[in-house]
DNA sequence: GCAATTGGGTAGCGGCACTGTCTAATCTGG
DNA sequence: CCAGATTAGACAGTGCCGCTACCCAATTGC
């Protein structure tokens, strides 16, 4: 399959496919000549995956690249992939690297306390820790008295969610397929889970305040 | 308080505050003269809220504006605010309005089935429905056999999350404060909840595969 | 042989979130 | 009363990001 057919079958414009190739999100096709390369079903699949991560989930192209790299390399087992992939940040946020001026070392004490309390075994470097500490700090700066203990019930629910996530990929034997499924469920499901929460919030709000939905 | 003090106390550059004023995210100060306006604590608070929504949560400035408008107007009760605010989309996603070419009418049948099965009472227009249907369609296009029934356990957990969310704001009497808290908990907590899920996933993965965290 | 297609490269575009500059009016200190 | 600083408001410019358009030489299919 040449690039035009790949474009036609995926619905992604020719120029955009070239862009993904340049950026390294899509591996190059098997070159058959100086101006000819052959693509196969794996490229088509990868392309759809890219579109899902970027379009539906809203990852930046750079973040999607990291996820895909982690997924493809999967040095030993899917566990690695999860560990690496879980640290990607959405496109919206600003500067990675140096914190603006809030003098935060890399300790994230609140996340650590939470992990300890839950009895979890997670890497010190998991960037999810940062997100938790940052969120709590931000909330408190807005006079919302939240600390890690306020997150405990949420952590409990997250634990069940994670168990359910892992159940769903346990039966897959092919490691690459398993890694792909893990990425899909982790990232692509995030907007849907938040959507579920909002539906449930509206329902719960309706139930408590007795109001009916706006027409 | 004049603009410079507002800038100094919030850490937001002068020019950026003017930008937010232009965009309508921050209400104008009380003009005392042609080149003088007075800002107060509510402006400072609002500014911090903007920064939290845009910086931490990653909302686009336009989305943040909608959230803030819904929050401020709060025609009758916080229930309205939740209903409106819950429909905001993150900045990452592409074109609102016309769906690309996947001929989707506005029905979102899977979300409807899920809502029905859960016995929820939510508006037909809640955009969370769209997100759910879109996510499921995308997953299936990637050969992941998911339908609304696969989301039921997640919906169950979302319901508990929502109950906990509503518990936390129930005691607030001032309607504007309540609306603000609802917005904060709904939006600002989202990254943290996803972070919790990832921590729990890593933990669960470690437990099942017996691996230890990467050094 | 020759139009059409392709790979590969570079340049440009539109949107977004600011940022810098300018002007005229106003305030402050002496 | 006046010099110097500050301010509101308007507008142009910047840097980044995700494409998109164009160009060229090589290759292909007819």
A153-168 tens-digit pLDDT: 999 999 999 999 999 9
Nearest to B83 by CA among B92, B93, B71: B71
A206 touches strand C (CB under 7 A): no
Instruction: Average the pLDDT over B39-45 and give the result.
Output: 94
Residue at token pair 């939240």: A146
What are all long-range contacts of A17-21, with beta carbons under 8 Å and residues at least 24 apart?
A17/A47, A20/A47, A20/A50, A20/A61
Flag if B200 and A101 touch (Cβ within 8 Å).
no
Flag if A58 and B92 touch (Cβ within 8 Å).
yes
Residue ranges per structural domain of chain B: 58-209
A81 versus B15: the higher-pLDDT residue is: B15
Chains A, B: CB contacts under 8 A, how many?
A: 306
Among A42-51, A94-103, B23-32, B118-127, which stretch is predicted with the lowest mean pLDDT?
A: A94-103
- List B residues 143-162 in contact with A (Cβ-Cβ < 8 A): 144, 150-151, 153-155, 157-162
Q: Report residue A54's pLDDT band, with 50, 70 and 90 as the boundaries.
A: very high
Counting residues of chain A whose pLDDT is more than 90, the rounded percentage is 60
> Regarding the domain delimited by A1-74, which CATH topology (the fold level of the hierarchy) does it fall under?
Multidrug-efflux Transporter Regulator; Chain: A; Domain 2 (1.10.1660)
Instruction: Average the pLDDT over B185-204 and give the result.
Output: 93
Q: Report residue B213's pLDDT band, with 50, 70 and 90 as the boundaries.
A: very low
Instruction: Average the pLDDT over B205-209 and give the result.
Output: 85
* Mean model confidence pLDDT for chain A: 85
CA distance A141 to chain B (A): 8
Instruction: Average the pLDDT over B125-148 and give the result.
Output: 93
Flag if A162 and B77 touch (Cβ within 8 Å).
no
Instruction: Average the pLDDT over A68-96 and give the result.
Output: 59
Flag if B191 and A59 touch (Cβ within 8 Å).
no
Nearest to B92 by CA among A77, A140, A121, A55: A55
Write the pLDDT tens digit of every residue in B85-129.
555 555 444 333 333 444 566 789 999 999 999 999 988 888 899
The residues, ordered by sequence, that sit 6+ positions from B15 with a Cβ below 8 Å of its Cβ are: none
Instruction: Average the pLDDT over B121-141 and give the result.
Output: 92
Flag if A162 and B197 touch (Cβ within 8 Å).
yes
A185 touches strand C (CB under 7 A): no
Q: What is the pLDDT of residue B54?
A: 95
**pLDDT higher than threshold 90 for residue A175:** no
The terminus-to-terminus CA distance of chain B in angstroms comes to: 51
Closest CB from A59, A123, A153 relative to B214: A123
Check CB contact of A62 with chain B, cutoff 8 Å.
no
Structure tokens at B187: 């939006």
Which residue has the closest alpha carbon to D26 C1'? A35
Counting residues of chain B whose pLDDT is more than 90, the rounded percentage is 60
User: B33: which nucleotide lies closest, measuring CA to C1'?
Assistant: C26
């Amino acid at each position: 399959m040449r690039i035009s057919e790949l474009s036609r079958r995926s619905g992604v414009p020719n120029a955009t496919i070239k862009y993904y190739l340049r950026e390294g999100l899509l591996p190059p096709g098997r070159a058959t000549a100086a101006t000819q390369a052959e693509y196969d079903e794996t490229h088509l699949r990868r392309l759809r995956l890219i579109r899902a991560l970027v379009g539906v989930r809203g990852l930046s192209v750079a973040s999607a690249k990291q996820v895909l790299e982690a997924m493809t390399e999967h040095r030993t087992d899917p566990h690695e992939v999860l560990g690496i992939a879980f640290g990607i940040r959405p496109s919206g946020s600003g500067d990675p690297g140096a914190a603006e001026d809030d003098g935060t070392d890399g300790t994230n004490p609140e996340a650590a306390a939470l992990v300890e309390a839950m009895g979890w075994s997670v890497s010190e470097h998991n960037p999810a820790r940062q997100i938790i500490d940052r969120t709590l700090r931000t909330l408190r700066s807005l006079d919302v008295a939240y600390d890690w203990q306020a997150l405990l019930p949420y952590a409990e629910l997250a634990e069940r969610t994670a168990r359910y996530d892992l159940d769903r990929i346990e039966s897959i034997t092919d490691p690459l397929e398993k890694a792909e499924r893990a990425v899909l469920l982790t990232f692509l499901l995030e907007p849907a889970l938040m959507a579920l929460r909002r539906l449930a919030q509206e329902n719960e709000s309706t139930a408590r305040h007795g109001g009916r939905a706006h027409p």
